[in-house]
Chains A and B, each alone.
Chain A
Amino acid sequence: MMKLIKLMTSAALLLAAFQLFASPLQAAAPYEGYSYSYWGTTSTTPNAYLPETVINGVEQGIGKFKEPTDLYVDDDGQLYVLDAGNGRIVVFDEQWKVVREIRGFQNGGKQDQFANPQGLFVTKKGQIFVADTDNSRVVELTNEGEFVREIGAPKSEVIRDGFEYFPKKVGVDNAGRIYVIGRGVFDGIIEFDSDGVFTGFMGTNRVKFDVWDYFWKKLSTKAQKSKLAQFVPLEFNNLDLDQEGFIYTTTAEVNSADPIKRLNSTGVDVLRREGYFFPRGDVYSSNPNASSILIDVQVGANGVYSALDSRKGRVFTYNEDGNLMYVFGRIGTQEGTFKTPVAVESRGSQFFVLDQGLNRINVFSPTRYGTLINDANALLVSGDYNGAESKWRELLRLDANNEIAYVGIGKAMLRQGDNKLAMENLKLGYDRVYYSKAFGKYRKEMTRKYFGAGMTVVFVLIAALWSWNIIKRRSTGKVKANVI
């Protein structure tokens, strides 16, 4: 009896100890991970990313940031902060040591400065491009902060009257073409060639209006028409370029089906939308107040891209095919939450979110769950399906509802020729196309296996029926003969 009580007490103590260890971990996350299932319902998942630290400039010995507007990570891993309120660019290395601080530059013998700059881009060669918004120009600097050139407002006959040029975001592709997003410019992205000559607008958003608006507009008089809102396309609000030179853009539109676009060099949207839902932030947005407002996009390695929602302060990450991988972040004042998030960047597996309201950079690191998703996706992209499968299996132990993991396993099984298991997994992941492939193979397999036996049965049955008929006819014939 005594022994039993002792055992129970120790068991209870052990349990309590476990809970003690478990609870601080839970409390550390200021938000809960979730994802959208095939049916559009949210399901809780482990957190993929957790806040690691915040950087506000004080501990780095350069003074507090003041209304920073943009972030950029170059190919060498250096992080550039466009600290607009202080009119400077700060460059950090990977250990958060300040490499450089660019406060101004010599322009034609005179000291020159930025005026409310909103966008920053660093080319592969290390040239810094700044969208110097209130000076209506894009400034190119060397990596050391020496002035190279400035690109002013676009000049062409195609530009409409009353066009105001306030460059907001800037991007440069591998060929040196410069893409600028201007404030209030709904014509599309302003494109300059490598010499800074305006070549045209690209990738205009489509005009959207409903039939009723059109109907009323048809009925109204000229004076009324001038008061009505015009049908103009929505402007892009941010851009990023991937390794191949495709331009990712975001549009802040409520309830839009395609707020994220991937434009090719002719301005056609080529984003893959193979996921259960189009990449658009929160899916559950029949209520306009719940719809995500995407304000920044960041393209990482392997075609993975992340979009920042300014309304709920969430970062949505999608893989190349447009499947939602994970969601993290929220609005708040704790570390790891934001007041006014404005930019998202990534380096390796880390994410940085710039908070303009609290003047700091939030650094996020992947949890075991996040690492598994990243690794599995990287293996999948490189074509190592079997390697990815083991990662997916490990992932399912952390989150048994992960439908993408089931699809991953199903595809690997199909490759290995285990059609039955492939079918089961693909069904759990709701991938009808691949399920159908697996099913077709399985059906063929079964037909081959049972064709002989099946045909034998059919022949025997036909023969039996035939002979039965003959016997029956003969016997009835005899009976009839007897009667007659």
Chain B
Amino acid sequence: MLSEIAKFPFYVLLHPFQGFWDLKYENKGKLRISLSILLLLTIATIILRQYSGFVVNFNYPYDLNSISELQYIVLPFFLWCVSNWSLTTLMDGEGKFKEIVMATGYALLPLVLMRFGNTFLSNIITLRESSFYYLIESIATLWFIWLLFIGTMTVHQYSVMKTIVTMLLTLVVMGIIIFLGLLFFSLLQEMLGFVFAIYTEISLRL
């Protein structure tokens, strides 16, 4: 049973159409597996940035911060899921929020494998061979987008064109959410500042 749960993400990797179908209709997907893949991706990225070989590692060591990886991986992940859910609810999507999280999480698997593999590979290549490193990176990214595309299509039972449009719109919605968030926080800041100023003013006058 356990080995089957562990094997399923790899099955999705290679048979996306059948895989995502099973994920949605056969209850083969597990939310905790999806979230573990997300966690693994974070770890893989941290390791890649810190330990990739000198010839491809251009990171300033003092700038590396594991917390900021959360900001660039976990936050966009949930932002994508929330935006996608908000959008597809209005656009006759059949996917539940849980299914969106699962599909997106399973689609991240190529990135996880690539980052672990590349960390190892980058330590045994020279500058001339570094194009392989970048090639693998590009392939994994394309694979991820491909899986995400199939996942979205299957989960919501969309046509191809509708999926593409939905995915692009999801990016727009992500931007809107970020904008609203920033607006909210900056207004909150202004308000707090105002209250604090009044308090200071009164306390100085009394």
Contact = CB atoms under 8 A, between A and B. Distances in A.
Q: What size tier do the contact residues of chain A reach?
A: 10 to 19
Interface centre among B60, B124, B126, B128 (most CB of A within 10 A): B126
Interface in A391-439: 427, 432-433, 435-437, 439
A317 B55 CA distance: 29
B127 A433 contact: yes
Interface centre among A432, A433, A440 (most CB of B within 10 A): A432
Contacts of A459: none
B59 to A, nearest CB: 10
Contacts of A427: 54
Given A39-B60, A427-B54, A439-B55, A432 B124 contact: no
Interface string B104-136: 000000000000000000001011100000000
B127 A436 contact: yes
A92 B117 CA distance: 68
A432 B60 contact: no
A443 interface: yes
Contacts of A432: 54-55, 127
B55 A436 contact: yes
Contacts of A439: 55, 126
A435 B53 CA distance: 11
A440 B55 CA distance: 12
Contacts of A39: 60
A436 B55 CA distance: 7
A439 B55 CA distance: 10
B35 to A, nearest CB: 36
Nearest to A426: B54
Interface centre among B54, B124, B128 (most CB of A within 10 A): B54
B29 to A, nearest CB: 35
Contacts of B127: 432-433, 435-436
Contacts of B55: 432, 435-436, 439
Contacts of B128: 436, 440
A432 B128 CA distance: 11
Contacts of B54: 427, 432, 435
Interface string B126-159: 1110000000000000000000000000000000
Contacts of A433: 127
A427 B55 CA distance: 9
Nearest to A433: B127
A436 B128 CA distance: 8
Contacts of B126: 436-437, 439-440, 443
Nearest to B56: A432
A120 B19 CA distance: 80
A433 B127 CA distance: 7
B124 A443 contact: yes
A80 to B, nearest CB: 47
B105 to A, nearest CB: 35
A39 B54 CA distance: 15
Nearest to A39: B60
Nearest to B123: A439
A437 B54 CA distance: 13
A427 B124 CA distance: 15
Interface centre among A427, A436, A440 (most CB of B within 10 A): A436
Interface string A14-42: 00000000000000000000000001000
A432 B53 CA distance: 11
B109 to A, nearest CB: 29
Interface in B21-77: 54-55, 60
A163 to B, nearest CB: 48
Contacts of B124: 443
A440 B128 CA distance: 10
A427 B53 CA distance: 11
A433 B124 CA distance: 15
A440 B54 CA distance: 13
Contacts of A437: 126
Nearest to A423: B54
A287 B60 CA distance: 22
B56 to A, nearest CB: 9
A437 B128 CA distance: 9
B133 to A, nearest CB: 12
A427 B128 CA distance: 17
A439 B54 CA distance: 10
Contacts of A440: 126, 128
Contacts of A443: 124, 126
Nearest to A437: B126
Interface in A430-474: 432-433, 435-437, 439-440, 443
Nearest to A434: B127
A443 B126 CA distance: 9
Nearest to B63: A39
A440 B124 CA distance: 9
Interface string A77-90: 00000000000000
A357 B17 CA distance: 79
A436 B57 CA distance: 13
Nearest to A446: B124
A16 B55 CA distance: 48
B115 to A, nearest CB: 21
B79 to A, nearest CB: 31
B127 to A, nearest CB: 4
A248 B55 CA distance: 34
Given A427-B54, A432-B127, A443-B126, 14 more contacts: A39-B60, A435-B54, A435-B55, A435-B127, A436-B55, A436-B126, A436-B127, A436-B128, A437-B126, A439-B55, A439-B126, A440-B126, A440-B128, A443-B124
20 contacts: A39-B60, A427-B54, A432-B54, A432-B55, A432-B127, A433-B127, A435-B54, A435-B55, A435-B127, A436-B55, A436-B126, A436-B127, A436-B128, A437-B126, A439-B55, A439-B126, A440-B126, A440-B128, A443-B124, A443-B126
Interface of B: 54-55, 60, 124, 126-128
Which 9 pairs across A and B sit closest by C-beta, in order of nearness?
A436-B127, A436-B126, A440-B126, A39-B60, A436-B55, A427-B54, A432-B55, A439-B126, A432-B127
